[in-house]
Amino acid sequence: MILLVVAVAEWTSLKAVERAFAELLFRDARNAAEVMIEACRTVYQFQVIREFERKIVLMQAANQVPDSVTQEDLEFITERERLPLALLTDLEGSIISGSGPISPEIQLALGNLREELSGVYEGALDADTFGIDLQLPLTTGPKGMAMRVANGVVLLFAPDPLIPEREELTIGHMIRRFGENPRVRYIALQDESGFIFANRSRLGDDSPLELTRLEEDSFLVAVYEQGKPDYRYHNLGSERIFEMAIRFPAMGRYRGVLRTGLSTSDHDRLLRGYAIQLGIVLLSALIISVIAISLLLTTKRLAIQKGLSDAILSETSAACVAIDSDGLINLFNPGAARIFRINPQNAIGKAVEDILSGDPLMLCDSIDRGSGRTFRADLNIGKESRVLDVSTGILPDGGAFAVSEDVTNMMQLKKDAAANEHLRALGELAAGVAHEIRNPLNAIGIAAQRLETEFDPVEDAEGYTELLSGLRTEIHRLDRVIREFIGLSAPMAPDLIRQPIKPLLDNIIDGAALRSKCAGIQFEADISDCREVAYDSSQLEKAILNLVKNAIEATPVGGKIKIRAFSRNEDVHIIIWDNGPPIPDKIRSKLGKPFITSGKEGGTGIGLFVAFRIIRDHGGRIEVDSDKDGTSFEIIIPGGSR
């Protein structure tokens, strides 16, 4: 009877241990698979972002392509946009010219590109991309954009993905790394069409890996359709395998069921050892040992996964911030530290609203809503304004995360392109209007001159003379405005020559002193021995004279103007100061734009705009300071090597 009781107790204990071990294996495998799937999702999102970056680079390069392309255009575009290659082909796909050597891979692909880009070659499309697939990023083969131009088709090739991106930052590589665990016998990802990825690992024999197809296996069909992870035992060759299946969420073309086969040899060995024992105490001790080993392996595996996730978060340029359900920050990666200029050590464990004033990433809002969102945020960080593209989501523990990318430079590029196009159109319009006005204006000037020299008024000769004088003054002022318009329509790149700047300043000061004296204004100059800088003497003189002219016109009789020039580090600083009325704040922030004046009566703002543009073309800047004591325009010209 005692033996029977012991046997029953042992059999019951063994069955309980077997069930517990299976559940532990299942939970362990499921947790590891879920961590791996999240890592795959991060990698896939990174791949998609990289594909978008390549597409943006191609679009920026496409904006540089003229209507008719030459060899020089191709070389300029590849150098400016850092492309590996740009080709001009005829409508049959034959190469006319290129910006560099053609690799064998691209040479082989050119034969298929003509058919793939038939819409562009046959005129149905103005432009189209090739090789860029957001459903399966980082595929091999050339990636780029084709554009129809007047003399053929331009092929712009995007930079190739880095070797680590193709070999390590892929979903297949993540699954293969997961399969390197010594307890994993195989890992496979399959859908209705067949196996997307299968890896056979550490089998004791060389037998082929033969697994059932999804539609032929009711167990796999149930996991795929119901989305609930499950497990089972089956034989693979001569070995008994524990298989855990979990539905793999869609990531582009990757989807289906992820099957992980684990060895049960340790489990079977333990059970045989338990059968030899006749005491439940020994059995309990062995169970504790198995649990401890399993926890140790799980901890090690999670540490490896965490290390990989930390590495990805550290290297990405995007800002990644996460909070728990109480709003406390538990993730603040280096990308977030760079964008928000906050030390991660000062952010972890703190309330997000205390660290990021106003919660600009809308993390607390995402928790309240119970779902994520995508939006664009305008932030003031220090003295800078930044634009971020933000995507938020909800974490399983009730917290929230945000991934944000700084798109300030991209937005500024778009604004600059729009502004340049606006100025080009404005210049063309100005030139046309100026031409149409100048001819009748000359006729009016000639008529005024004849009225003065050929006609004598019968009465009120003084009023007649005063009227003609006012007419000539207005004609001269209108002619000056027309000349400014014509100058606006024909900007020229400066011819930079490294030379001393003091002779130019001495010449400008002589003229400014004379004009100030005639206007009843005190004038001072303090010119130090300035270092040599690279500048266009004609354009720089025009810019400085425009600012001096504005200062004289803004300064009342008896006022004061002072010009200073000195070197600081490698730069030259030129300050033009007057004690005229201050410039209103709402105008000062817009100075440098067309038709924005410094507040003087009758000004057009063109001279000031031209001055700002010339200094900007020299690689410098103009800083404006204005208060009740006076107004200063400080020109800063870089003196470094150009």
The mean per-residue pLDDT over the stretch 24-32 comes to: 79
For residue 277, which phi and psi values (nearest 5 degrees)?
Answer: -75, 150
Whether residue 314 is predicted with pLDDT greater than 70 in this model: the reply is: no
Amino acid identity of residue 449, one-letter, is: Q
330-334 contacts: CB < 8 A, separation 24 or more? 330/399, 331/401
**What's the confidence (pLDDT) of residue 565?**
92
Residue 347 zone, left/alpha/beta (φ > 0; ψ -120 to 50; rest): alpha
pLDDT-derived band at 236, boundaries 50, 70, 90: confident
For residue 21, which phi and psi values (nearest 5 degrees)?
Answer: -65, -40
Report the distance separating Cα 430 and Cα 484, nearest Å.
9
Q: List Cα–Cα distances, 634 to 213, 493, 609, in angstroms.
A: 75, 22, 15
Q: Is 441 within 8 Å of 478 (Cβ atoms)?
A: yes
**What's the confidence (pLDDT) of residue 642?**
45
The mean per-residue pLDDT over the stretch 507-529 comes to: 88
Instruction: List, for residues 167-209, the tens digit of each pLDDT value.
Output: 455 666 666 666 667 677 788 888 877 777 666 655 444 555 6
Whether residue 562 is predicted with pLDDT greater than 90 in this model: the reply is: yes
> Which carries the bigger pLDDT value, residue 635 or residue 584?
635
The mean per-residue pLDDT over the stretch 263-267 comes to: 75
Whether residue 383 is predicted with pLDDT greater than 70 in this model: the reply is: no
First to last CA, the chain: 100
Among all chains, which residue has been given the structure tokens 């989501």?
393
Q: Which of 240-254, 296-310, 367-381 has the lowest mean pLDDT?
A: 296-310
**What's the confidence (pLDDT) of residue 206?**
52
Report the distance separating Cα 578 and Cα 559, nearest Å.
8
Whether residue 342 is predicted with pLDDT greater than 70 in this model: the reply is: yes
Q: What is the largest CA-CA distance in the chain?
A: 151
The CB density around residue 455, as the number of other CB atoms within 10 Å, is 10
**What's the confidence (pLDDT) of residue 522?**
92
Report the distance separating Cα 512 and Cα 603, nearest Å.
19
Instruction: List, for residues 502-512, the tens digit of each pLDDT value.
Output: 888 888 988 88
> Quick one: what percent of the chain has pLDDT higher than 70?
78
Report if pTM > 0.75. no
How does the average pLDDT of the chain come out, rounded? 79
Nearest to 323 by CA among 372, 264, 374: 372
Whether residue 269 is predicted with pLDDT greater than 90 in this model: the reply is: no
What does the angle CA 575 – CA 579 – CA 580 come to, to the nearest 5 degrees? 115
**What six digits make up the tokens of 294?**
């399993």
Whether residue 308 is predicted with pLDDT greater than 90 in this model: the reply is: no
Q: Which of 13-27, 281-295, 614-628 has the lowest mean pLDDT?
A: 281-295
Nearest to 67 by CA among 145, 154, 157: 154
Q: Is 95 within 8 Å of 88 (Cβ atoms)?
A: yes
Whether residue 398 is predicted with pLDDT greater than 90 in this model: the reply is: no
pLDDT-derived band at 413, boundaries 50, 70, 90: confident
Q: Is 149 within 8 Å of 65 (Cβ atoms)?
A: yes
pLDDT-derived band at 154, boundaries 50, 70, 90: very high
> Quick one: what percent of the chain has pLDDT higher than 90?
7
**What's the confidence (pLDDT) of residue 159?**
79
Instruction: List, for residues 63-95, the tens digit of each pLDDT value.
Output: 988 989 999 999 998 988 888 899 999 988 888
**What six digits make up the tokens of 614?**
């010339």
Nearest to 614 by CA among 545, 542, 565: 542
Give whichever of 261-275, 350-364, 389-403, 474-488 has the largest mean pLDDT.
Answer: 389-403
Tell me the residue length of the chain. Answer: 642
The mean per-residue pLDDT over the stretch 118-141 comes to: 81
Whether residue 598 is predicted with pLDDT greater than 90 in this model: the reply is: no
Instruction: List, for residues 459-468, the tens digit of each pLDDT value.
Output: 777 777 777 7
Among all chains, which residue has been given the structure tokens 């978008």?
52
Contacting residues for 217 by C-beta, under 8 A, at least 6 apart: none
**What's the confidence (pLDDT) of residue 634?**
93
Q: Which of 10-14, 41-45, 508-512 has the lowest mean pLDDT?
A: 10-14
Whether residue 635 is predicted with pLDDT greater than 90 in this model: the reply is: yes
**What's the confidence (pLDDT) of residue 57?**
86
Which helix (H) or strand (E) covers residue 498, if one does? strand 497-499
The mean per-residue pLDDT over the stretch 377-406 comes to: 83
**What's the confidence (pLDDT) of residue 408?**
79
Q: List Cα–Cα distances, 92 to 86, 88, 105, 142, in angstroms.
A: 17, 11, 20, 19
